[in-house]
Each structure stands twice: as C-alpha cells, then as structure tokens.
Amino acid sequence: MTPVNFYIYISLALFPITDIFVISMDISENHENLKHELKEKLKCVSSRQDLEKIKLEYIGKKGILNQLFSKMTDLAANERKDFGARLNVLKNEIETIINDFSNNFSQPNTSEYDELYNSLPGKKPEIGHTHIITQAIREIVDIFKPLGFTRVRYPEVDWEYFAFEALNMPEDHPARDDWETFFVDLPFDKKMGRVVLTPHTSNGQVREMLKGKLPIRMLNISRCGRRQIDISHGPTFFQFEGLVVDKNINTTHLKGVLNYFAKNFFGPDRKIRLRPYDFRFTEPSFEVDIDCGMCHGKGCKLCKGGWHELGGAGMVHPNVLKAGGIDPEKYSGFAFGWGVERTYMMKSGTKIDDIRHIFANDLRFLEQF
C-alpha cells in the first residue's frame, strides 16, 4: 500500500466519508488501473484508425483524462494542487505509452490510405492542344495536297519589290494603298525598295517562279501585317496563297480548284461564286464568295445578301510571269489568296464573332476548339 493510499485508508476509518476522500481514492487506484487497461487495449490495435480511436478515448478533448481534470473544481483548494500534480504525471505516462506504441505505425500503410482516401477525386493533368490557326493551316494543307500542291514559306519581312513591283504595281501606284503596309526602319535598296512586313502572301509568287521549276503548284502560308484593326481585321493575320503555272491553264481550272477546296473545307452543301474584281497582278481578277452557312444564299442578318467574301483570285498577269522569268506566250497560271482566320470563321458552326479573339490568347476561348 502506497503512503497516499494508507493515508486515505486511515482517513476513511477515522472520519465520515466525504466526496473529497472518495475522489482522492479514485485517482490513486485509477492511476495504475488506467495504464493497465490502456496497455491491454493497445494489444488489440492493428491499424492507425484503431489507434486514433484510443487516443481520442484517453487524451482527446472529451477523453478520460480531461474528464478527470474537470473534477478538480469539486475539490477543496488545498487538495487541488496535489490532485493536479498527480493527474499531470498520469497524463504524461499515458501519452508516452501511446506515442511509443504509435511508432509501430511510422510507415503509412498504403492499403489503409487507400481505404481512407479512395473517395478523393484524382488530379486531372492539363493537356494542351494546337492553336486553332495551326489546326486550320493543317486542314488547308491536307485538302490541297492530293491536288499536287506543296506547302512553302517565304519571308514574312520582305522587300517592297516582291510585295508590289514584281506584282505589276510600280512605285507610287495608287493600288498599293489597299495594302496598308508596315514599313521597317531599315536602309532602302535602289532596286528592291524598302523593307516591309509582307502585307499579303503574294510576295511568294515571283519568288516561287524564280526557283525556275515548272510546272508550279505552290501553297504559300505565312503571317502578314497590315495597319488595320477592327472586329474583322487584325494587324497581323495569316494568308494562304495558291499558285499554279503550267501550259494551257485557264479560269475553269481556277474555279474547279476553289470549288473543290470549298466543298472539302466548308462542307459538301456549300458553294462558291466568282465576282469580277481588279487586282494589278491578275487578269481577269475575281473576288470569291461562299454562300452563307446559316441561310444558304437567301440572305440573313449574318451575311451580305446570302454570301460572305472569302478573298481574291485571278489569272496570273503576263507581267508577273515575266518578272518570274516565265514566257507568258507559252505558260499561263492562276492564283488565289485568302485569310486563314476569316476562312476558318466561315466554317459552319464556328461562332467567332470577333477575329481578335483568335490572338488574344485567352484559354477560355481557345479551349473550345
């Protein structure tokens, strides 16, 4: 019997039983009993979850130890100190027993983790995709390929000569104003002129002819620049330029190729029409329209009387063939040049109401395609 228990024993014999004595006695006996009981319970613990339950039972907020601490208020002031000190010792001992035991679980057991977290949603890896303009360019290339067209690229920063002079637009010709050109601040060359951001892909026409290989079936797709910005124009955009030069090429070939492209790109129920136009580098020249995907040529809010303008086309002007070193008496050709963005926007079901969205790099927009 410990001295404390002995004291309680004597007290009980000599004095009437009071609450204080009962509690004091409880503590002394419970001290060893509690630890024994805890050790017995731990023998049956085989998982972290079981251990957590035991921790809560003993040292949790509403656990056994806190319940004992709360009894302190029932004690007389002189008893509290001793009672509290002994409870603190008990608490430390219980914590040590539990901590020592929990070392058995220091390595998390994966199957238990699975059990605990299998309802957590997984992390979805972000997957990127090509930009819509890249998608459109690839689609355009694939459509022209079976007809024998090869994709090429020519400088996006080029001499004025290839953008204008070689295309039958001499210096100071008013037609040049239609290509609102960015001039680059670089030295002027007597023959080639100033350096420009190519305002159209037609700069590739004479460059292709100067390669000296005939016949020609060129598809030049490049970035262009013009001083323009509004809902349907951007200062930078892409064009695709077709050029065919061979013997006996005429307008029916041009119309056939454009129809083939339109049906493949826009859908078999769509059709094109040619309107007379004026370009200095083609004769005759045309503007090419596609029937509206909403009203099919009848006329609606979205179109100009049932049609949308696609771009320019025509039979290569003899002066352009000459600039490319080709004899216009022996060879003829056709060319066409359209904006990639605009063409893509006219695809059925593409609801892009402002061309500038395409280059704003807003993922909320781009992820839709």
Identity of the residue, 168 or 282, whose beta carbon is nearer to ligand PHE in the bound complex: 282
Is the separation of the CB atoms in 11 and 21 below 8 Å? yes
Stretch that binds ligand PHE, among 13-21, 30-38, 208-216, 335-343 (CB under 6 A): 335-343
Identity of the residue, 34 or 163, whose beta carbon is nearer to ligand PHE in the bound complex: 163
Stretch that binds ligand PHE, among 151-159, 207-215, 332-340, 357-365 (CB under 6 A): 332-340
Give the closest residue to 200 by CA, choosing from 170, 243, 232, 238.
238
| Angle ∠(263,268,269) on CA atoms, nearest 5 | 115
Rounded to the nearest whole angstrom, what is the least distance from the CB of residue 198 to ligand PHE in the complex? 10
Kindly tell me the sign of the dihedral angle through the C-alpha atoms of 232, 197, 239, 244: positive
Rounded to the nearest whole angstrom, what is the least distance from the CB of residue 158 to ligand PHE in the complex? 13
> Which residue's structure tokens are 């058995």?
104
Rounded to the nearest whole angstrom, what is the least distance from the CB of residue 206 to ligand PHE in the complex? 12
Residue 168 binding ligand PHE, by CB under 6 A: no
Cα–Cα dist 106/52, whole Å? 13
DSSP summary character for residue 175: G
Residue 335 binding ligand PHE, by CB under 6 A: yes
Q: Based on the number of CB atoms within 10 Å of its own CB, is 137 exposed (0-12), middle (13-18) or buried (19 or more)? A: buried
Rounded to the nearest whole angstrom, what is the least distance from the CB of residue 241 to ligand PHE in the complex? 6
Rounded to the nearest whole angstrom, what is the least distance from the CB of residue 308 to ligand PHE in the complex? 15
Sites for ligand PHE among residues 205-234 (CB under 6 A): none
Residue 202 binding ligand PHE, by CB under 6 A: yes
Residue 200 binding ligand PHE, by CB under 6 A: yes
The residue type found at 199 is P
SS3 state of residue 51:
helix
Give the closest residue to 340 by CA, choosing from 201, 150, 205, 217.
201
Q: Categorise residue 289: left if φ over 0, alpha if ψ from -120 to 50, beta otherwise.
A: beta
Q: How many residues bind ligand PHE (CB under 6 A)?
A: 12
Identity of the residue, 90 or 218, whose beta carbon is nearer to ligand PHE in the bound complex: 218
Residue 279 binding ligand PHE, by CB under 6 A: yes
Give the bridge partners for 183, in sequence order. 196
Sites for ligand PHE among residues 296-315 (CB under 6 A): 311-314
Positions in the binding site for ligand PHE (CB under 6 A): 200, 202, 241, 279, 282, 311-314, 335-337
